[in-house]
Amino acid sequence: MSKDIENWADAYDVVTFARKYGLTVQQARIIISSNGPSRHGCDMGAIAFVRAMRLRATRPSRTRQKPTHPAQ
């Protein structure tokens, strides 16, 4: 559920926050909304998000393969 971040005093500007962490504006908006107006909370959320994205990029794909059926 998204919170209305435009009315929070002292919250990060979405574009500034996105640039700081190399995020898209949409990603920045989600992180700010999820972590509240606390700059510290948003910083920690962004760091965790960026780390998770890097980890995901280095893992091999986990797509499921179709089961092979023996010829009948």
Residue 16 pLDDT grade (very low, low, confident, very high; cuts 50, 70, 90):
very high
CB atoms within 10 A of CB 13: 12
40-55 tens-digit pLDDT? 999 999 999 999 999 9
At residue 59, does pLDDT exceed 60?
A: yes
Instruction: Look at the block and give the residue holding tokens 């794909």.
Output: 61
Task: Please state whether the predicted TM-score (pTM) of the whole model is above 0.75.
Answer: no
Cα–Cα distances (Å) from 72 to 37, 65, 66, in that order, read 63, 20, 17
